[in-house]
Amino acid sequence: MRCYVCSNDIMTQVTWTNVFLPPKRSSICEGCLSQFERITPTCPKCGRGDSTGLCFDCERWGMDKEDPLEKNTALFAYNDFAKDWVAKWKYRGDYELLYSLREQVASLEGPLVPIPLSDERLAERGFNQSEAVIRLLGGESVSLLERSGTSKQSKKQRAERVTSENPFRLVEPIRAPVTIVDDIYTTGTTLRHAASLLKEAGCPSVSSFTIFR
C-alpha cells in the first residue's frame, strides 16, 4: 500500500499482537501523519487548539454572544503541511488525496449540510469539497442551501470575511438538528452565514464539522 500523500510504500509493523491477523491497511504513512497537528485541547466554540476556554478569536469577534452556530469541531490545525495538502487536493484537483485521512475521521450521524459552491467555482474545481468530506464521513448529505454570490472567501482579509454579506439562500427549511460540513474553519463566517439562515427558518440546533481549524 502506498501513502496517498507522499506515494511512498507504507510498511506494516509486525508485532506479536498482529502476527496472526490480516495486516491493517492504512492510507497514510507515519511520516506524513505526524505532520498533521491534531487539535487538543480546544476552544468550546470554534474548536481551535491550545485553548481550554473561549479563544481570543471568538472573544474578539463576539462569538460569546448570541450565535447561530452552537459549536465547531475540527480535527487538525491548519499548519503549513495542511495548507500544502489542501492546495493539492482542492485547488490542483488531486481528489484522491482526501482518502489519506479516512482512518482519522469518525462517522457523523444526522443530516449533514454541505456548503454550496457557485456553478462557476464547481466547474473550476471539479468537485464540492464539503460534499467530498461528507462522503468521507459516511453521512447523509442534505442540500438545503444555494450560493447567490461568487466572491472567494479565501481572497478576503479576516475583517472583510467577518463583515461580508450572506452569500447563501435557503432552499428549504429543516426542523431537525443539523451539522454543517466544510474543509476549513478560518473566521467561521461562512459557517455562520449558513447557520443563520437555517436557524431563522426553524432549525433547532446547528453545529459544524471541519477537518482543519
| One-character DSSP codes across 104-126 | T-----SEEEEPP--HHHHHHHS
Residue 21 lies in a domain: no
pLDDT of residue 23: 53
Residue 202 lies in a domain: yes
Per-residue pLDDT of the chain (213 residues; tens, 9 = 90+): 799 999 999 876 655 555 555 555 689 999 999 999 999 888 989 998 877 788 888 887 776 678 999 999 999 999 999 999 999 999 999 999 999 999 999 889 889 999 999 999 999 999 999 999 999 999 889 999 999 866 665 555 655 666 679 999 999 999 999 999 999 999 999 999 999 999 999 999 999 999 999
> Cα–Cα distance between 69 and 78 in angstroms, integer?
21
Q: In the chain, what is the straight-line distance between the N-terminal and C-terminal CA atoms, in Å?
A: 29
Does any domain span residue 126?
Answer: yes
Instruction: Go through the chain and tell me how many residues it has.
Output: 213
pLDDT at 150: 63
Q: What is the rounded CA–CA span in Å between residue 116 and residue 130?
A: 8
What pLDDT was estimated at residue 13? 61
* Pairing, β 140-141 against β 206-212: unpaired
In a domain, residue 88? The reply is yes
Q: Is residue 17 part of a domain?
A: no
How many structural domains compose the chain?
1
Q: Note whether residue 20 is domain-resident.
A: no
All 3 cell numbers of residue 52? 481550554
Q: CB neighbours of 212 closer than 8 A, spacing ≥ 6?
A: 74, 75, 76, 77, 78, 82, 86, 183, 184, 185
Q: Is residue 178 domain-resident?
A: yes
- Domain holding 197, by residue range, is 30-212
| Residue 84: inside a domain | yes
| Per-residue pLDDT, 66 | 81
